[in-house]
Amino acid sequence: MTSGDVLKLLTDSGDEEAQLDARILCEELEGEALSLAAERRAKGEPLAYVLGHRHFWREDYKVVPGVLIPRADTELLVECALRFLGCHELATGDVLEVPVSGFKDKVSYSDICTGTGCVGISIANELLNRGFEVKGILTDISGIALEIAKANAERILKGSSSVEVVRNDILNEDIPGCHNFIASNPPYITDSEMTLLDKGVKDYEPDLALRGGIDGLDFYEKIFKKGYASLLPGGAVFVEHGYLQGEAVRRLCGEAGFENVGTVRDYGGNERVTWGIRNAW
């Protein structure tokens, strides 16, 4: 199959990114592997699943069907955590409003609903490169997510013991450990929104990692209440949410006891990541 054949196949399938997708497929694959991959993409399967990886922050993450595909907007969680620790010199926009803590050199954190591990591993990699002593606990309820997160951690962190990947059900179990901060990209798509998702998301990505209940807020009260109990004084929580959920998420964050609550907008100008600080006193 030639590059022209791939482009025609994807164009005829209605792929809105046919030219870009064809170029990427032809750069990475050839022969029978290219033909099979092009056919999978033409049927609507997300490119990240077809290729088996997706770039996030500064790393490339293994991705397989059954695990949520990392998105660029989720990089804001990494930015907020690094800003909180005073080591994001290139921070811009709303991220500059995130308070800088007094925590130095030694950091413990949890990445809840970790999926591929992209948030927690990217944070660990940045901190390790800056000489921090790091202890990250990455949690999920999905067996396939835990398997992929472990594989990504082993490869990207080169066997470092700085992160531990463990099974945890945030809706029914406490957050393990005692931390300086908590980051989470939980399921937050509402039941009604699930029916409106793009075919590539609705038909291929895991419902478990997307659906957040009637109002999309099922996970936030649990994360905030349990997070507050597992944070050191002066610690912070950072959560991603839907673009219409900012007000409700800030309210839940404040009701759990967090102070200095604020929200960061994503690259499209939508409210995307909310933080709260546990009072130091």
Q: How many CA atoms lie within 13 A of 96 on its CB side?
A: 5
Query: Rounded to an integer, what distance in angstroms lies between the CA atom of residue 139 and that of residue 111?
Result: 6
Q: Which fold has domain 53-277?
A: Rossmann fold (3.40.50)
Torsion 107-256-244-96 (CA) sign = negative
Look up residue 71 and give its amino acid: R
Query: Which residues are CB-contacts of 239 (< 8 A; sequence separation ≥ 6)?
Result: 183, 184, 185, 186, 220, 223, 224, 249, 253, 273, 274, 275
pLDDT the model gives residue 279 = 85
In angstroms, how far is the first alpha carbon of the chain from the final one? 66
Q: What single DSSP character describes residue 117?
A: S
Structure tokens at 58: 């500064």
Token duo for residue 112: 């809840």
Domain ranges in the chain?
3-44, 53-277
How far out from the chain centre does Cα 115 lie? Answer: 7
User: What tens digit of pLDDT does each residue of 31-70 get?
Assistant: 999 999 999 999 999 999 999 999 999 999 999 999 999 9
Q: What angle do CA 263, 73, 148 make, to 5 degrees?
A: 120
Q: What per-residue confidence (pLDDT) applies to 280?
A: 66
Q: Count the neighbouring beta carbons within 10 Å of the beta carbon of residue 49.
A: 20
Mean pLDDT in residue range 77-101: 95
Alpha helices in the chain (DSSP H): 3-13, 18-28, 31-42, 47-51, 75-84, 118-129, 143-156, 191-194, 199-202, 207-210, 220-230, 246-255
- Segment 110-124 shows an average pLDDT of 98
Partnered with residue 137 across adjacent β-strands are: 110, 164
- The string of pLDDT tens digits covering residues 176-207 is 999 999 999 999 999 999 999 998 999 999 99
pTM: 0.95
Q: What share of the chain has pLDDT > 70, as a percent?
A: 99
Q: Return the structure tokens found at 1.
A: 């199959």
**The predicted structure's pLDDT at residue 104:** 86
pLDDT digits (tens, 9 = 90+) for 217-267: 999 999 999 999 999 999 999 999 999 999 999 999 999 999 999 999 998
User: pLDDT value at position 281?
Assistant: 53
